[in-house]
Structure 1
Amino acid sequence: MIKNFLNTLEDPERPLLGPNYKFLIKMGMLFPKNKLGRFFFYFLPHPVAVITAAATFELYCVRTDLNTVLNNLKFSTLGLVILAKVKIFIFGQERWRKIIEYVTEADKYERLTCDEIRGRIIEKYTKFGRLVTYIHVVMTGLTFIAITASPMLLYSSKTLRNNIRNGTAPFPHIVSMWTPFDKNQFPGIVILITYQTLGALWATGFMPACDSIILVTMLFFGGKLELLRERSKQMLGTDGKGISDEAANRITGELHDAHVLLMEHMKMLNTIVSPVMFTYVFVCSLMICASMFQVVNATTTFEKFILLQYLIFAIAQLFLFCWFSSELQRKNELVMLGPYECQWWAANARQRKNVMILAGQFSKVFIFTAGPFSNLSLELFVSVVKGAYSFYTLLRD
C-alpha cells in the first residue's frame, strides 16, 4: 500500500523532481495562474505569521517563567524561519520556476544520453533524492504529532485538570501566545487549539516541501558535476585513436556551455537560499540551546522524549544543508580533473588547447553561503553546535 502511494507521487515528465514538484503545488508555493488560487495560497501562511507574532509578544508577559520563555522562544524563532522560507517562494516564483525547469530538462537529457557509468550516477542521486524527501516528510510528521499531542497528554493528568479548574494552572496549549480573549476558558480553549493545530499542520506540510526541493536541487547539481567529469573523460574518444577537430570542438563546446549554465543556476539558487540560511543558522543556535536546557531539566520521560525529538530534528536539518553544500563544493573542485583524465595525448595541438580552456572553465568553484558572512559547510555546522553548547552552559550556570 505504501509503495502504491509513493508511486502516485511520481511524474514521468519530472523523473527527479516529481514528488518535490507535487508537494510545492499542493502547498501553494508555486502559485496557480488563476487569480483566485493565487489569492488563496498567498494568505495561506498567515496563521503562522499570527502565531509567531503573538508568541513573540507573549515572551514579555511570561518573562518570569524560564521554561515558558524557552518554549516560546523555540516556536517564535521557528516561525520566523518558516516565514523567511515562505518569502523566498512568494517573491521568487520566476526564479524557482527557472531552476525547476533547468533541473528537469538537464536531468532528462542526461537520462536519454547516459552510458553505464553515468547511468549509475543518475540512479544514485535519484534514489538519494527520494530518500531525503521522504525522510523529511516522516521527521516533520512525527514532530507535528509530538507537538499537537503533547497538550492533550498533559491534560490527561487528573492533578493538572483539577489545578486548571481551580485556576492555579493554565491550560497546556501547543504554544503560549497572547490572545484578545480568555485562552484558558471555553470557548477560547477550543478556538486557540484549533487555530494552532491548523497552523502547525500547514507548517508540517510546507517544511518538507521547501527543504526537500532545495536539498534535491543541490544533490542534482553535485550529480551534474560528476556527469560532466565523466563526459570530459570521453570527450576525445576512448580507443586511443583520437577524433576529428570538428567533433572535438562540438563536444568541448557542449561541455563548456553545460558548465556555464550549471554555474548560473547554482548562483541563482544561492541568491534565493543564502538569506534564509543566514536566518536559520542564527535561529538554530537558539533552538538547540533552548532544547538542550529543557531536556536536561525535564521532569518526566514523556517531556524528555518530545524535547529530544525536537532537538534531533533541528540538528539534523542544519546538518543536511551543511553536508550537501560541502559535498557540492568537493565535487565542484574535482570536476576540473575530467579534462586531464581524457585521452589528450592522442589529440593534436588545437584540441589540446581546447582541453586547457575547458579545464580553466571547470576550475571555477562556487560555494553556497549562509548570508554574507559564512560559507555553508560542515565547518559552519560544527561552529553552530559548539556555539549552542556554549550558550547552554552559560544558561545552566
Structure 2
Amino acid sequence: MIAKLLDNLEDPKRPLFGPNYWMLRKMGLILPDNKIGKFLYIFLHFFVTFFVFTQYLELLEIRSNLDLVLTNLKISMLSIVCVVKANTYVFWQSNWKQLIDYISEADKYERNTRDPIKKRIIAHYTKYCRKVVYFYWLLVCMTVITVTNTPLLKYLSSSKYREALRNGTESFPHIFSSWVPYDKSTSPGYWFTILYHALMCTYGGGIMAAYDTSVMVIMVYFGGKLDLLRERCRQIFGTSGLGVSNQEVAATIKELHSIHDLLMKYAKLFNSLLSPVMFLYVVMCSSVLCFSAFQLTTATNTTQKLLMAEYLIFGIMQLFLFCWHSKDVIVKSGNVMMGPYESEWWTAGPRQRKNVILLAGQLSRVHTFTAGPFTNLTLSTFLTILKGAYSYYTLLRK
C-alpha cells in the first residue's frame, strides 16, 4: 500500500523531482494557477507568519520564567526560519520554477543515454534522492507527532503534575507558547488553542519537509551532474584507444563547455535563493540546539527527556544534511577537472590537446554554496555551529 502511494508521487515530466514537486504544490510553496487557490495559499502563509509574531508577543508574559522562555525561543526561532523559507519561496517563485525546469529538462536529457556507466550514475543519485526525501519526511512526521502530543505526554508522565492540575497550582500544558486574545488556561479556550497549535505545527512541518528536501535533491542533482560531466570528459577521445576525428572532438568539447556554463549559471541562481535563508538558519541554529540541550539535561522525568532528545536530534540532523550535501557538491566540483586527464588524450593531436587543457581550465572553477556573505555550507561550518551551541550551553549551566 505504501509502495503504491509513493509510486503515485512519481511524475514522468520530472523523473527526479516528482515527489518534491508534489509536496511543494500541496504546501503552497508553488502556487496554483487559479486565482482563488493562489489567494487562499497566500492568506495561509500570512496567517502562519502572524502566528509566529504572536509567539514573540508571549515572551512579554513569560519573561520571568527561564524554562518557559527557553521553550518559547527554541520553537519560535525555528518557526521564524520556517516562515522565511515559505515566504521567500513564494516571493521568488519564478526563479525557483526556472531552476526546477532546468533540472527536470537536463535530467531527462541525461536519461536518454545508453551508456551503462552514465545509467549507473543516474540510477544511483535517483535512488539516493528518494531515500533522503522519504527519510526526511518520516523524521519531520515523527517530530510533528511528538510536538503535537507534548501536552498529553506531559499529563500522562507524572501523577504529581495531574494532582497539581486538579489543585490549580499548575496550568494546562500547551503545544506552543503564543499569545491569544482569550483565556487559554480554561475550557473551551484551552481546547481551541490546542487544536490551533496542532494545525500550525502540522503545516509548519509540511513547509520544512517540502522546502528542505527540495533543496537537498537539487544539491544531489548538481553532484550527480558533475559526475556525469566528468564521465563525458573521460570519453572525449572514445574508449577504444583508436581516437576520434577532430570534428567530433571539437563538437564534444563545445558541448562540454556549454553544459558546464549552464550548470554554473543555475548553481549561482540556486545559491542566490538559498543563501539568505541559510544565513538566518545558521545564525539561529546554535541557540536552538543550545536551548534543546539545556532542557534535555534539566528535564525531571523520562518522558520530557525523550521529547527534548527527539527535538535535538531533528535539529542536528537537519543542519547536517544541508552541510553534507553542500560539501559533496564542492568535492565533486573540484574533481570534475580530472575528467579530461582521465581520457585517452595520448591519442589526440597537438591542437586537440590544447583544447583539452582549455576545457580543464574551465572545469577547475569550484562552486561553493554559502550561508550569507560570511560562511560556506560545509562540514566545518556544521562542527563550528555545534561547538558554538555547546559553548552557549555551558554558559547557561553556570
Shared topology, TM-score over 0.5?
Answer: yes
Cα deviations by residue, 1:158-199 (Å, 9 ceiling, x for unpaired): 543453354322110001222211110122112211111111
Corresponding residue of 2:123: 123
1:12 maps to which residue?
A: 12
What is the correspondence of 1:361-380 to structure 2 with a 5 Å cutoff? Answer: 361-380=362-381
Partner of 2:77: 77
Question: What is the CA-CA distance between 1:31 and the residue it aligns to?
Answer: 1.0
Alignment of structure 1 residues 168-187 onto 2, 5 Å: 168-187=169-188
| Unaligned ranges ≥5, structure 2 | none
Distance 1:294 1:198 in 2: 25
Between 1:79-88 and 1:237-246, the stretch displaced more is 237-246
Query: What's the offset of the Cα at 1:104?
Result: 0.7
Q: For residues 274-305 of structure 1, what are the alpha-carbon distances to aligned partners after superposition, in whole Å with 9 as ceiling and x for unaligned?
A: 01111111111011100100000001111000
Q: Which moved more, 1:50-59 or 1:216-225?
A: 50-59
Contact 1:84 1:276 in 2 (8 A): yes
Return 40-49 or 169-178, whichever deviates more: 40-49
Q: What is the alpha-carbon distance in structure 2 between the residues aligned to residue 201 and residue 175 of structure 1?
A: 12
Residues 326 and 368 in structure 2, CA contact (< 8 A), matched pair in contact too: yes
After TM superposition, the structure 1 = structure 2 runs for residues 345-384 of structure 1, keeping only pairs within 5 Å, are 345-384=346-385
Alignment correspondent of 1:147: 147
Q: Quick check: 214-223 or 41-50, which moved more?
A: 41-50
What is the deviation of 1:223?
0.4
Is it true that 1:41 corresponds to 2:41 in the alignment?
Answer: yes
Counterpart-to-counterpart distance in 2, 1:282 and 1:304? 26
- 1:228 Cα deviation from its structure 2 partner: 0.3
What is the CA distance between 1:384 and its match in structure 2? 0.2
Q: Is contact 1:322-1:380 (8 Å) kept?
A: yes
1:196 & 1:75 partners in 2: Cα distance?
A: 12
Partner of 1:325: 326
Q: Percent of pairs identical after alignment?
A: 48
Does residue 1:386 correspond to 2:387, yes or no? Answer: yes
TM alignment of 1:249-264, pairs within 5 A: 249-264=250-265
Partner of residue 194, structure 1: 195
Question: What is aligned with 1:167?
Answer: 168
Given that 1:52 and 1:75 are in contact with CA atoms closer than 8 Å, whether structure 2 keeps it comes out as no
Give the distance between the partners of 2:55 and 2:27, measured in 1 at CA.
24
Q: Deviations over 1:301-348 (max 9, x none)?
A: 110001000000000000010111111000000000011111111111
Gap change, CA 1:114 and 1:61, over 3 Å in 2: farther
Look up the match of 2:104.
104
Q: Which residue of 2 aligns with 1:92?
A: 92
Deviation of the 1:68 alpha carbon? 0.6
Q: Distance in 1 between matches of 2:53 and 2:114?
A: 51
What is the rounded CA distance, in whole Å, between the counterparts of 1:44 and 1:153 in structure 2?
A: 29
Q: TM-score, normalised by structure 1?
A: 0.97
Counterpart Cα distance in 2 of 1:139 and 1:337: 38
Distance in 1, matches of 2:234 and 2:177, equals 60
- Do residues 232 (structure 1) and 233 (structure 2) align? yes
Between the aligned partners of 2:124 and 2:95, the Cα distance in structure 1 is 27
Distance 2:159 2:349 in 1: 87
Q: Give the C-alpha shift of residue 155 in structure 1.
A: 2.9
**Matched AA of 2:319:** L
Match of 2:268 in 1: 267
The one-character-per-residue Cα deviations of 1:211-255 (angstroms, maximum 9, x if unpaired) are 000000100000000000000000111122221121111111111
Q: CA deviation at 1:75?
A: 1.0
**Aligned-pair Cα RMSD in Å:** 1.3
**What is the rounded CA distance, in whole Å, between the counterparts of 2:266 and 2:130 in structure 1?**
22
Contact 2:137–2:209 (8 Å) recurs in 1: yes
C-alpha contact (below 8 Å) 1:45/1:202 kept by paired residues: no
Q: Partner letter of residue 393 of structure 2?
A: Y
Q: Write the letter of the residue equivalent to 1:131.
A: K
Cα distance in structure 2, aligned partners of 1:205 and 1:172: 24
Distance in 1 (CA, whole Å) between partners of 2:87 and 2:268 is 18
| Partner amino acid, structure 1, of 2:198 | T
**1:51 Cα deviation after fit:** 2.7
1:50 maps to 50
Distance 2:307 2:348 in 1: 64
Give the total of aligned pairs.
397
Q: Distance in 1 between matches of 2:244 and 2:262?
A: 26
Asked if 1 retains the 8 angstrom alpha-carbon contact of 2:184 and 2:190, the reply is: yes
Question: For residue 99 of structure 1, what is the amino acid of its counterpart?
Answer: L
SS in 2 for 1:55: helix
Q: Give secondary structure in 2 for the equivalent of 1:279.
A: helix
Given that 2:49 and 2:83 are in contact with CA atoms closer than 8 Å, whether structure 1 keeps it comes out as yes
| Residue 203 (structure 1) shift | 1.0
**Bigger mean CA deviation after superposition, 378-387 or 150-159:** 150-159
- Classify the secondary structure of the residue corresponding to 2:11: coil
Instruction: Name 1:67's counterpart in structure 2.
Output: 67
Counterparts of residues 13-32 of structure 1 (less than 5 Å): 13-32=13-32
One-letter identity of the residue aligned with 2:378: S
Residue 314 of structure 1 corresponds to which residue in structure 2? 315
Deviations 1:131-158 (A, max 9, x none): 1100111011001111111102223455
Q: Shift in Å at residue 80 of structure 1?
A: 0.8
Q: Which residue of 1 aligns with 2:306?
A: 305
Q: Distance in 2 between matches of 1:174 and 1:376?
A: 32
CA contact under 8 A between 2:327 and 2:379: conserved in structure 1? yes
